[in-house]
Structure 1
């Protein structure tokens, strides 16, 4: 039976906080080239449950596909049955800050942003805090909700047992302080403080 190192538990609680899932004015799907089907099915399910009125999908071209992430995701959502009129596709963003800034501009071209008071972030489970911190930095004043998508094929609480999942969580933990210092993010109130003094063995701790 796998036992999580205490420092890994603290890191996971920070990087992947328990964010409420609730109906919002806008759904915001952060583009990805990983787990596209899982993301599309999660967003489609949220739409069927009435969790947003409009879905913003932001993501530009990434290596391995000449099509922007948002176009790939948008096309699949339409195949699953989402009406195209509910989708706002932003196809130029190359990083999470641009996702929010360019996505917000794309949304403003379709609707009055004064009416947007809440956003439901849909993104990788391993990066959920960073998505929310980016929204807090570049689109402050919103009520935020989250739908973390786990496409790794293992339960989220067992993240430390999966090499890629583990590597991505620890990478998020490592880069958030630098992003804060450079003004890319704003900290989230009410979701715990950065665990600044993990044991040196945390990153290398065996999952066994």
Structure 2
């Protein structure tokens, strides 16, 4: 792999320890729903969280909110409905956290929540965590990246869609930071400036 691609991957897809947390937070998706549900169910069975917040509203391609689709499948897999909090209005990642936190607050005392385990797309894990840091600061964060692309994560640059999504995440993070949508993660490295031109050239070769 080109060295610049390794730098980008380390930033966009940081490796976080998987720790038992007060709340699991599954960011809604229309892609890889089965993989997401299997991952979340396995974490719940291991006792990695006691409550799972699933946030996602209506998006293109389905009239049902993402959270309802995911929640229904999780119940089919054996999760009790009482363990689920579904937020069904969010249409972007910021709303996932803002509206998801409000939905959770309607059902439990947020003062008792000190840790969050984020479950989301491997290619966007940095952005999920940075959004949590911005809109729900003070939480101890861990992450479960879900890779639904059918290739190993370390081979992301060899898969057209996976590569496209990782590079898109890398490109948009500075603008999101400038607009106040995200907060940087302490201890996980600064944004790697200007490797993209040579990295893109290496993937096109």
Q: How many angstroms apart in 2 are the aligned matches of 1:107 and 1:143?
A: 17
Map of 1:4-23 to 2, 5 A cutoff? 4-23=1-20
Aligned length: 205
Map of 1:48-127 to 2, 5 A cutoff? 48-127=45-124
Q: How many angstroms apart in 1 are the aligned matches of 2:161 and 2:168?
A: 10
Aligned 8 A contact 1:70 1:90 in 2: yes
TM-score normalised by structure 1 residue count: 0.97
Q: How many angstroms apart in 2 are the aligned matches of 1:207 and 1:84?
A: 47
Q: How many angstroms apart in 2 are the aligned matches of 1:119 and 1:79?
A: 24
Shift of 1:201: 2.2
Q: Residue 142 of structure 1 corresponds to which residue in structure 2?
A: 139
Q: Residue 184 of structure 1 corresponds to which residue in structure 2?
A: 181
Match of 1:172 among 169, 174, 180: 169
Question: How large is the RMSD of aligned CA atoms in angstroms?
Answer: 0.9
Q: Residue 206 of structure 1 corresponds to which residue in structure 2?
A: 203
Gap change, CA 1:82 and 1:149, over 3 Å in 2: same
Match of 1:24 among 21, 28, 33: 21
Which one has a larger percent helix, Structure 1 or Structure 2? 2
SS at match of 1:146: strand
- Structure 2 gaps, min length 5: none
Shift of 1:9: 0.5
Gap change, CA 1:199 and 1:112, over 3 Å in 2: closer
Q: Residue 150 of structure 2 corresponds to which residue in structure 1?
A: 153
Shift of 1:66: 0.3
TM-score normalised by structure 2 residue count: 0.98
